[in-house]
Amino acid sequence: MWQSLSGWQHTDAALRLAKTHFDDDSDLDTVLLKAVLLDKLYATNVTYHLDLIEVAAKIVKVWGSEGSSRQKVMKLAKVSVRNKDRYLTSFASKYVHFSYDDSVPVYDWYAALALARHYSFPQNRIEEWRKEYEDYGAKIDTLRQKSRIYADAREMDHYLWLAGNWVWLQKRREKAGINKELRAFFDNPVKGQLAEATFGGLLK
């Protein structure tokens, strides 16, 4: 399914190209360029909370710190906005995944929705995972192991994102507001049947 979505193929290719040509995450200008690209292509809305210069400066600081890749996601994600903690986990996980370590799971609302469905968790678990990213990653690891899924982090992200979007579309229909290219895929009679056969169990 993912391979048939040409727009998203180009989006990910652009981010991989940026990593190849701009790989110095200790340089503020390099990091700023990649942060702007990611925020625009993936609509992470990080600028709703912080100026991108602030974000880039924090990335440089985090890259110079100790810790695993997943720990760096949380260091980058947690910010203070008007004296309140906010968790920019979607942006942080995507930046680390695309710019540094592609074995890091991507946090995305739709992916988290699908993951919660796999575990029969209540929907509020989706927001809790913003603060508990390492648990989110661990749940994906366990799902892969129990299901004997031989997939890397990127393939798992694709599966969960597709599944979450499909579930949300079934629940909200016209109000779902999902990606246009993906909606056209699900609305196609043949492809829609494939999606239902693949993801239908998550509605139970």
Instruction: Report the percent of the chain where pLDDT is more than 70.
Output: 100
Mean pLDDT over residues 105-122, rounded?
95
pLDDT at 147: 85
pLDDT at 116: 96
69, 99, 129: which is the final residue of a domain?
99
Same domain, 119 and 55: no
Name the pLDDT band for 175 (thresholds 50, 70, 90): confident
pLDDT at 186: 93
Spatial CB neighbours of 59, under 8 Å, sequence gap ≥ 6? 25, 31, 35, 76, 95
pLDDT at 164: 95
Name the pLDDT band for 179 (thresholds 50, 70, 90): confident
56, 80, 99: which is the final residue of a domain?
99
Same domain, 66 and 129: no
Q: Report the 3 state secondary structure along 59-76.
A: HHHHHCCCCCHHHHHHHH
Same domain, 87 and 122: no
Mean pLDDT over residues 3-22, rounded?
92
Same domain, 15 and 80: yes
Residue 150 contacts residue 143 (beta carbons within 8 Å): no
pLDDT of residue 204 exceeding 80 = no
* 3-state SS class at 173: helix
Spatial CB neighbours of 139, under 8 Å, sequence gap ≥ 6? 115, 119
Same domain, 143 and 174: yes
Structural domain includes residue 36: yes
pLDDT at 58: 93
The domain containing residue 137 runs over which residues?
A: 109-203
* 3-state SS class at 78: strand
Mean pLDDT over residues 106-124, rounded?
94
C-alpha pair distances (Å), 72 with each of 7, 52, 196: 29, 18, 36
Same domain, 113 and 85: no
Model confidence, pTM? 0.92
Structural domain includes residue 54: yes
Structural domain includes residue 194: yes
Report pLDDT digits (tens) over 68-96: 999 999 999 999 888 889 999 999 999 99
Same domain, 95 and 123: no
Same domain, 199 and 119: yes
The two three-digit tokens of residue 26, written as one number: 């200790």
39, 74, 99: which is the final residue of a domain?
99
Residue 197 contacts residue 186 (beta carbons within 8 Å): no
Mean pLDDT over residues 38-59, rounded?
90
Report pLDDT digits (tens) over 141-173: 999 988 887 888 899 999 999 999 999 999 888
pLDDT at 80: 86
Same domain, 92 and 131: no
Structural domain includes residue 160: yes
List the beta strands (DSSP E) in the chain.
Answer: 78-81, 84-87
Burial track 28-41 (b if 16+ CB lie within 10 A, e otherwise): eebbbebbebbbeb
Report pLDDT digits (tens) over 121-139: 998 899 999 999 999 999 9
pLDDT at 120: 93
Structural domain includes residue 104: no
Number of domains in the chain: 2
pLDDT at 177: 83
